[in-house]
Chain A
């Protein structure tokens, strides 16, 4: 009395673009390894219906100055290295990071107002301290982003770093710097499929090849908008696999930044007993956010807690194993 159960595979006509961060000496850089994101021809980890040539990568955030508003849990976990971006990058590499996400936070007008000169110095230091590919984030204020990201792009010439963030309000200068210095960009849009496509088109119109663009759909952490990001990632992935060329960029999510803004990770006084142990729930807050997005289709997750790295990488490694 056999029941015939066909394997329900979908046929996809598109694939995710491959975007490579980092350049080896043979290609004009000084990185020890490169990271390629994307390339998959099916939904996340469905090995029975397509190819998944590259596992999602874990980027770890390193700030260019000791962070003042970070959760004590994070500060405790990193210890002294937070005073030295080079040491911090080294330690991040030691705990298993695939990519270093250097945040030029001191350039923010309210948090130091440093400029191009300081940016160059810290980029130089971090490039020397680690052999991992880099993402370099500006402070998130348009004029300063333009100033320091241009400087960073020049300083890191040849290294295929990703400059973040390009947004519809402010992308031209950053894209121009990427063009001039053979870098990549992170294009961020506010949880909207059409706006994501639009920004990709605008960037591509400036002649930056789409193999140099990562798409950031904007991240909402667990309990703080996760489902919006989750669904926009799924929608973009489905559109990409159905052949829409402007939704095929590998996606990057800023899990660490968002998860560690949550009340659950920042404080423990006056919170319900049912929230449990502060350290454990905070780390899970970040890890669970990351896991959800990896299952949805994120190609790069940017995280903060040193212990989260190995947990997420183990999860990724398990998901990548096609053996049943």
Chain B
């Protein structure tokens, strides 16, 4: 991506003055294209040329930040339509919408519950990303106070209001926290643009028409100096949302349409038939390009699956998640309980642990460091062999936990049994099933014959 040398050359003064350090403007242009020179080296490049070059080298989808510090939510800078082409980079923020006209008690307790929610998966802690406060009360002071509570709880905020006075109160309460203003529309965009610039915050845009209307609005905002924009294409159904999200991503990446090269915000609760429908619409948002997902119903039972889905979709296909090597207890194993060994690829771990758990037979699960690869991949790469397993046994104090010396290895690496018995004198190596699903019956036989 980026402009070609020739395209850049057309924007330069073409005087060949050599003040940039290169013999000709064309040579300088080629170096610029190769990212081997800085435009600032040319004292005579016009403002227009600078702007054009900036625009061309900017990422297709602007990076927007809501919140600050550790909990900030970045969206944008995405480069692909399908995760397998490279990866999706920025996990969408999952925000909950609260109204400022609730009772103070109800509001406070919801803020607390949402801020406190934390769940771990594959060793990674996940929770809600922030709060969207909606100015239903019509009162600027109330709104500001509610925003202040959210900020005090450490959560990034989205300010939903049509009233500039209320927004200003919210902006003051969230100073320094980069709240997102929602949203500029046809009738109010100028005032909101001023606020966005004054407080240096991102601004969402909602279109009531089609994508052209949305693009016109962003152009107007850009003209006023608002660069950090978030798009709400206004779709509220399953089908039109999918169409809008897909078209926006394609326009940004394939047509380099700057006017729509911004992250997307969506409200899956609006138009949803019930909570379950909302959760599944949120799933669509997560899979299909949305940067900020705003939900209306907070419930652990629906948030946990959604966060898991987000983790799955946004995992870098080239860097699968690993678990820490070590000795894991499944059920409450005792000294006679079986000992199994496998690799630290998270899916392997979860499959094996899941099957052992499902068998109802407590066991010790030794997870060897195979650099996060699955059994077969690790074995083929020489990262899961007799030496590594032996080392794993010696360093994790397995012998302090068990009174036997039997180890069950995954069926796919049966060929290492001999070597492993050599590396572990006195040990008996048992070849387990090839698929994790064979573990329960294998363990049943194991305990029966013990």
Contact = CB atoms under 8 A, between A and B. Distances in A.
B317 A318 contact: no
Contacts of A277: 299-301
A94 interface: no
B4 interface: no
Nearest 5 CB-CB pairings of A with B: A276-B301, A276-B300, A318-B238, A3-B215, A280-B301
26 contacts: A1-B216, A3-B259, A4-B212, A5-B211, A5-B212, A10-B250, A45-B242, A47-B239, A223-B311, A226-B309, A227-B317, A238-B82, A266-B358, A272-B119, A274-B304, A280-B276, A281-B302, A281-B305, A292-B287, A292-B309, A295-B284, A318-B238, A319-B242, A320-B239, A322-B239, A324-B240
A138 to B, nearest CB: 15
Given A281-B302, A288-B305, A292-B283, A45 B119 contact: no
A285 B347 contact: no
Contacts of B280: 284, 287-288, 291, 311, 315
A222 B280 CA distance: 13
Interface in A239-276: 261-264, 266-267, 272-276
B288 A295 contact: yes
A53 interface: no
Contacts of A311: 276-277, 280
A296 B287 CA distance: 9
Interface of B: 82-84, 117-121, 210-212, 215-216, 219-220, 235, 237-240, 242-243, 246-247, 250-251, 254-255, 257, 259-260, 273, 276-277, 279-280, 283-284, 287-288, 299-306, 308-309, 311-313, 315, 317, 347, 350-351, 354, 357-358, 441
A1 B118 contact: no
Given A226-B312, A227-B312, A274-B118, 14 more contacts: A3-B215, A3-B219, A6-B255, A223-B312, A223-B350, A227-B83, A228-B347, A277-B299, A277-B301, A295-B284, A296-B287, A311-B276, A318-B237, A321-B238
A314 B273 contact: yes
A8 B300 contact: no
A5 B256 CA distance: 11
Contact of A223 (B84, B121, B238): B121
B265 to A, nearest CB: 19
Contacts of A211: none
B82 A234 contact: yes
B84 A48 contact: no
A315 B211 CA distance: 25
Interface of A: 1-8, 10, 43, 45-48, 69, 110, 220, 222-228, 230-231, 234-235, 238, 261-264, 266-267, 272-277, 280-281, 283-285, 287-288, 291-292, 295-296, 311, 314-315, 318-324
Contacts, number: 173
Contacts of A275: 119, 300-301, 304
A319 B260 contact: no
Contacts of A222: 305, 308-309, 312
Contacts of B121: 223
B276 A287 contact: yes
Nearest to A324: B240
A230 B351 CA distance: 18
B301 A263 contact: no
A8 B283 contact: no
A315 B279 CA distance: 12
Contacts of A110: 441
Contacts of B277: 311, 314-315
Contacts of B237: 318, 321, 324
A47 B302 contact: no
Contacts of A46: 242-243, 246
A281 B304 contact: yes
Contact of B247 (A8, A234, A273, A285): A8
B251 A5 contact: yes
A17 to B, nearest CB: 22
Contacts of B304: 264, 274-276, 281
A263 B255 CA distance: 44
Given A3-B259, A7-B247, A274-B117, A288 B301 contact: no
B347 A225 contact: yes
A69 B358 contact: yes
Could you say which of A3, A4, A10, A43 has the most chain B C-beta atoms within 10 Å of its C-beta? A3
A26 B256 CA distance: 54
Nearest to A10: B250
A272 B243 CA distance: 37
Could you say which of B118, B276, B287 has the most chain A C-beta atoms within 10 Å of its C-beta? B276
B299 A280 contact: yes
Nearest to A312: B280
A69 B277 CA distance: 29
A295 B243 CA distance: 12
A132 to B, nearest CB: 24
A2 B216 CA distance: 6
A5 B215 contact: yes
A1 B242 CA distance: 28
A222 B350 CA distance: 12
B118 A5 contact: no
B239 A227 contact: no
A7 B251 CA distance: 8
A170 to B, nearest CB: 14
Contacts of A7: 247
A228 to B, nearest CB: 8
B237 to A, nearest CB: 6
Contacts of A224: 347, 350-351, 354
Nearest to B235: A324
B279 A284 contact: yes
B301 A230 contact: no
B312 A230 contact: yes
